[in-house]
Structure 1
Amino acid sequence: MDHAAVLALFDRDMREGARPDGPDARVERVGRVVRQVSSEHGWNGVVWSDLDAAGADAAIAEQIADFSRLGREFEWKLYGHDLPVDLGQRLRTAGFVSQPEETLMIAEVADLDLDAEPPAGIRVLPVTDSAGVDLVARVHEEAFGTDGSRLRHQLLAQLTADADTVVAVVALAGDTPVSAARMELVPGTRFAGLWGGGTAEDWRGRGIYRALVAHRARAAVNRGYRYLQVDAMSTSRPILERLGFEPLTTTTPYVYTP
């Protein structure tokens, strides 16, 4: 993979040319910043910027003012190659709180090992309705220890508005949900994004996460996508590397609460 070329394509398609991730969201370009504005239940934040040292602080202040008028907490999604090089420090000075760093990993679907199947006793079901969404949110809360209300709202809205833009799955042991994940599809681009892959602690290390990645990758192939993208935590990065994903840069969420 030509890392520089694929990263430039990702920046152009998925960040500068970002599309709303749900029916209650809109994407706006303000100066040299691209942001998504959504409801209080959706994701609000900056997805792309092209700033220099002279204008960065003013652009940051503008975003703070605009989202604060809306009463919205928002995230500035900072990538390791974004400029200026001290943008992270500028965000912290302005009152943002940084979250754990992740690794942007991308794979060409044709190069992936897609044969991984769930272990014995685990069945993978597609999520198509509110009952399935509740199972996904339940796994999310158990796996990550965070509230699943925003995920529940967003996923149900996506499935209701346009089911072709999202693929969600849940892994069950008997009738107990033990792992879940989703894939977001952006028509007209070459990237499908893998999100929310999480497994309950007692079920980790058995190959379930790997099987859900392979399941979604097969769905991306069937829909004609060339690349898969993941913001990987340190726990999932080794699994993704074994499957064929390559690290391209880092990404760090910076969160501002009015």
Structure 2
Amino acid sequence: MDHDAVLALYDRDMREGAQPDSPESRIERTGKVVRQVSTAQGWNGVVWSDLDAGSADAAIAEQIAYYSGLGHEFEWKLYGHDLPVDLGQRLRSAGFTPQPEETLMIGEVNDLTLDAEPPEGIRVLPVTDQAGVDLVADVHEAAFGTDSTRLRHQLLAQLTAEPDTVVAVLALDGDTPVSAARMELVPGTRFAGLWGGGTVEAWRGRGIYRALVALRAREAAERGYRYLQVDAMSTSRPILERLGFEPLTTTTPYLYTP
């Protein structure tokens, strides 16, 4: 994989040319910043910027004023190659709080290892309705220890209004939900994104996460997507590398609460 070329394509298609991630959201382009604006229950934040040392502080202040006027918490999604090089420090100085750093990993679908299957006793079901969404949200809370209100709302809205833009799956041990994940499909691009893959602690280390990645990758290939993208935590990066994903840069969410 030509890392520089694929990263430039990702920036162009998925960041500068971003599309809203839910029916309730919209993309706005203001100056050299691209942001998503949603409801208080959706994701609000900056997805791309083209700044330099002379323009960064004013652009940061403009976004703070805009989202504060809406009363929304928002995120500035900073990538390791974004400019200026001290943009993270400028965000911290402006009152943003950095979250744990992740690794942007991308795999070319035709080069990935896609034969991983769920371990014995684990069955995987598609999520298509409110009951399934509730189980996905419950697994998310158990796996990550975070509130799943936003996920619950967004996933149900997507499945209801735009079902072709998301694939969600649930893994069960008998009748017990133990892992869940989703894939975001962006029409008109070559990228599909893997999100929310989480397994309840007692069931980790059995290959369930790997199997759900492979399942979604096969689905992406069938739908004609060339690349899969993951914002990987340190726990999932080794699994993804074994499947054929490659690290391209880092990504750090910077949160601002009005």
In the superposition, the TM-score normalised over structure 2's length comes to: 1.00
Residue 249 of structure 1 aligns with which residue? 249
Superposition pairs for residues 64-213 of structure 1, below 5 Å?
64-213=64-213
Residue 221 of structure 1 aligns with which residue? 221
**Distance in 2 separating the partners of 1:38 and 1:142:** 26
**Distance in 1 separating the partners of 2:24 and 2:36:** 10
Q: How much has 1:123 moved relative to structure 2?
A: 0.2
| Structure 2 unaligned spans of 5+ | none
**Distance in 1 separating the partners of 2:98 and 2:176:** 34
Q: How much has 1:162 moved relative to structure 2?
A: 1.1
Paired residue type of 2:166: V
Secondary structure of 1:47's aligned partner: strand
Paired residue type of 1:213: V
Q: How much has 1:135 moved relative to structure 2?
A: 0.6
Paired residue type of 2:246: E
Say how many residue pairs are matched: 258
Residue 233 of structure 1 aligns with which residue? 233
**Distance in 2 separating the partners of 1:162 and 1:16:** 22
Secondary structure of 1:253's aligned partner: strand
Q: How much has 1:106 moved relative to structure 2?
A: 0.1
Q: Deviations over 1:214-237 (max 9, x none)?
A: 000010011000000000000000
Residue 56 of structure 2 aligns with which residue? 56
**Distance in 1 separating the partners of 2:158 and 2:221:** 21
**Distance in 2 separating the partners of 1:131 and 1:221:** 28
In the superposition, the TM-score normalised over structure 1's length comes to: 1.00
Residue 27 of structure 2 aligns with which residue? 27
Q: Deviations over 1:139-194 (max 9, x none)?
A: 00000001111100000000001110000000000111000000000000000000
Paired residue type of 2:141: E
Secondary structure of 2:168's aligned partner: strand
Are 1:37 and 2:37 matched, yes or no? yes
Q: How much has 1:203 moved relative to structure 2?
A: 0.4
Secondary structure of 1:82's aligned partner: coil
- Alignment identity in percent? 84
**Distance in 2 separating the partners of 1:204 and 1:76:** 31
**Distance in 1 separating the partners of 2:33 and 2:176:** 43
Q: Deviations over 1:80-128 (max 9, x none)?
A: 0000000000000000000000000000000011100000010000000
**Distance in 2 separating the partners of 1:197 and 1:257:** 26
Runs of 4 or more consecutive aligned structure 1 residues displaced over 2 Å after TM superposition: none
Calculate the aligned-residue CA RMSD, in Å. Answer: 0.3
Paired residue type of 2:205: G
| Structure 1 unaligned spans of 5+ | none
Secondary structure of 2:192's aligned partner: strand
**Distance in 2 separating the partners of 1:155 and 1:20:** 13
